[in-house]
Amino acid sequence: MLLKAILYDPLKLQVVCWLALPEARAQERQLQEVDMKKTGWYRSFVMVVILLGMSFTYVFAGTTSDTPIDQRLITQQKRIDDGIKSKQLTQDEAKTLQDNLSYIKAEEARLKAVGKLNAQENERLNKMLDQNSYMIQDKKTNPVKAMAPAPVAPAALAAAAAAASVPAKPAAVSPAPAPAAAAAAAASALVKPVAASTAPAPAKPAAVSTAPVPGAAGVEQRFKNQEKRINDGIKSGQLTQSEAGALRDNLNYIKAEEARLKADGRLDKSEQQRLTKMLDQNSNMIENKKTNPVKVLKDSHLQGRFESQQEKIDRGVISGALTKDETKIVQDNLTKIKAEEARLKKEGKLTTEEKNRLEKMLDQNNDMIQDKTKNPVKRM
């Protein structure tokens, strides 16, 4: 009856609707809030999934090619040191793995000297680091072995150089003999050995020597001794990981410098003295870091090269290998490189790129001083 009265009375119906409207609106707002919360949770869930996906993508996609090579070298060095401490690696195995790292560092430095690493070079270095990492991690599955190519024996190099230096047509050096004389010579050649020829033997170039590169053996032995002393210093606790890393970097740097200097087949006295001086400095730091604080030798390298080139210029003047004009040019080049280094140092510590550029300029000037026939003297 009440319902009928409300339905048939418009005024009562309006009153009821008016009273029910706020409650309906409140319910509607509650429903909207629930929907918004659901939507918000859903959106939050989606964002979390996306962020997690990006994180996993970064972790798994952050392969060796994305990890800086320098950081990988440091990490592998620490793993080798840990392997020595835990005795998972023998001294010989650690030495081989250490040599592999040194080889990769030297190769990286050589490639960077030309310019920035391209994708192919970066991939090759990372592949070598992968191989070394596998040997550190599981030597049973991946037996420890040297990665650097085996050096060619000096005798083999000398023999190859000697064979290359023998003129193909010795007769072309002397005037052609008359027909009768040629016949007589041919007949006598059947009886006499070739060594009996009265023609003067061609001069033997300096590179054709069966002896190893002068000074190289002593330097190589010092490398091995210092590497062992660094490993012993880590075991005894006399050297920290960072100090050992700096000392090893010095050794790698000296090795790379030795390889660069030996490119012409010999180490002259000044070059050998410079390598010995750097090895002495590193040795003193290994022996007594209190008296000789551990520091990086790279910073003093350019000064050593300046002094070395100045000595070469002075020797060239004394021996007459360089004319007055040539001496003036290479001396001006050296002065220009020194001035450029001083200018760059004013702006702060030299970057790797700046060091490489100065090294390249010094290489060019050195080539002109050393062999002006192949590298004509010119201003830089």
Cα-Cα-Cα-Cα torsion 335, 338, 339, 345, nearest 10 degrees, comes to: 180
Question: Domain check: are 53 and 75 in the same one?
Answer: no
- Residue 177 in any domain: the answer is no
| Cβ–Cβ < 8 Å for 145, 96 | yes
pTM: predicted TM-score of the whole model, two decimal places:
0.38
- Residue 365 in any domain: the answer is yes
Q: What is the pLDDT of residues 272-308, one digit of tens each?
A: 888 888 899 899 999 998 899 998 876 566 777 888 8
| Cβ–Cβ < 8 Å for 136, 80 | yes
Question: Domain check: are 55 and 91 in the same one?
Answer: no
- Residue 375 in any domain: the answer is yes
The last residue of one of the domains, among 12, 44, 61, is 61
The last residue of one of the domains, among 268, 296, 324, is 296
Largest Cα span, the chain: 155
| Cβ–Cβ < 8 Å for 106, 255 | yes
- Residue 114 in any domain: the answer is yes
Cβ-count burial of 221 within 10 angstroms (0-12 exposed, 13-18 middle, 19+ buried)? exposed
Q: How far apart are CA 74 and CA 79, in angstroms?
A: 9
| Cβ–Cβ < 8 Å for 216, 276 | no
Q: How is residue 155 annotated by DSSP?
A: H
Q: How is residue 176 annotated by DSSP?
A: P
- Domains in the chain: how many in total? 4
| Cβ–Cβ < 8 Å for 365, 309 | yes
Phi-psi region of 237 (alpha: psi -120 to 50; beta: other; left: phi over 0): left
Q: What is the pLDDT of residues 148-185, one digit of tens each?
A: 775 544 455 455 445 544 444 444 444 444 444 444 44
Q: Which residues of the chain have pLDDT under 70?
A: 1-25, 34-43, 46, 48-49, 53-67, 113-115, 150-217, 298-301
- Residue 148 in any domain: the answer is no
Domain that holds residue 320: 315-380
> Residue type at 366?
N
The last residue of one of the domains, among 118, 137, 156, is 137
Comparing CA positions, the residue from 202, 200, 245 lying closest to residue 227 is 245
